[in-house]
Copies of this chain bind each other. A is one copy, B any other.
């Protein structure tokens, strides 16, 4: 007897930004696993069971979800944004690889969603309109030296950067250090966006520059976008500025 597991991206926060495919997958599931604040967004029906966990316990949460699916249940694992971007889909795949062979026979599906950087970009213009990198600034699962090397490589090659997990209570200095490194490579006028809680009632978008950016402008709900040498800011009277990265590049080819 084998059930199924679906990993669902709920989108950035507004119900209007969750896809119909995600909504349908949630209706079909019997058991819901996820970080509590994401589960809080759902209205479960009678007979649907909630299994909340802390946000540091991704692999054990994935194992528990697979265990329940293997017992014949229809399990949904939920993530904010997209399920595959610094989220639960990779943890479930990792658990499948490391777990009993029977877990490979479980019907497994991932439902994509609008990931945070896309929602933040949309609110501010088109800062990701050209080549870009998405990085987690968390050094819980990779050495800080690797993060530094990636920052230097990506900024040096002219990629726009989008940072997930920029800060947390346990990681207070990493974003500030990242800005320091980027100031060695990029001009002080380079646009920086702090995009907090895009699409939610407490949304806050801040456009500043690399020279002025401070790490205390970000919290755990913030996606930070750092432009390239090509990224432009267009002032508009009575409206917030537009930030965009042109489709063309090459002035600073190296």
Chain B residues with CB below 8 A from A156, complex form? 153
CA A115 to CA B117, docked complex, whole Å? 11
- CB of A112, distance to nearest CB on chain B (Å): 4
Stretch of A29-37, A206-214, A245-253 with 4 or more beta carbons under 8 angstroms from chain B: A245-253
CA of A6 to CA of B199, assembled, Å = 16
Q: Is the CB of A136 within 8 A of B131?
A: yes
Q: Which residue of B19, B20, B112, B247 is within 8 Å of A141 (Cβ)?
A: B247
Chain A 212-254: CB-based contact to B (< 8 A → 1; otherwise 0): 0000000000000000000010111111001011111110011
Asked whether B129 lies within 8 Å of A84 as measured between CB atoms, the reply is yes
Kindly provide the distance from the CB of A115 to the nearest chain B CB, expressed in whole angstroms. 7
CA distance A245 to B24 in the complex (A): 27
- Residue in contact with A97 in the complex, picked from B96, B121, B234, CB distance below 8 Å: B234
Asked whether A122 lies within 8 Å of B104 as measured between CB atoms, the reply is: no
The range of chain A's interface size is 35 or more
0/1 per residue, A156-187, Cβ < 8 Å to B?
11110000000000000000000000000000
Given contacts A97-B232, A247-B58, A253-B145, contact A19 B114 (CB under 8 A): yes
Return A14 CB to nearest CB of chain B, in Å. Answer: 7
CA distance A130 to B89 in the complex (A): 11
Question: Which residues from chain B contact A104 at a C-beta distance below 8 Å?
Answer: 234-237, 239
- CB-CB under 8 A from A142, the residues of chain B are 248-250, 253
Could you tell me which residues of chain A, from 102 to 127, have a CB within 8 Å of some CB in chain B? 104-105, 108, 110-115, 118-119, 121-123, 125-127
* Residue of chain B at shortest CB distance from A153: B157
| Complex: chain B residue closest to A135, CB-CB | B131
CA distance A253 to B129 in the complex (A): 29
Q: Specify which of A82, A104, A122, A127 lies most central, judged by the most chain B CB atoms within 10 Å of its CB.
A: A122
Quick one: which of B21, B157, B239, B244 contacts A14, CB cutoff 8 A? B21
* B250 in contact with A146 (CB, 8 Å): yes
Q: Is A200 an interface residue (CB 8 A)?
A: no
Binding site for B on A (CB under 8 A): 9, 11-12, 14-21, 24, 58, 82-87, 89-94, 96-97, 104-105, 108, 110-115, 118-119, 121-123, 125-136, 141-143, 145-146, 149-150, 153-154, 156-159, 232, 234-239, 242, 244-250, 253-254
Query: Which 8 pairs of residues, A with B, have the shortest CB-CB distance?
Result: A90-B129, A93-B244, A153-B157, A89-B126, A141-B248, A110-B122, A90-B126, A16-B21
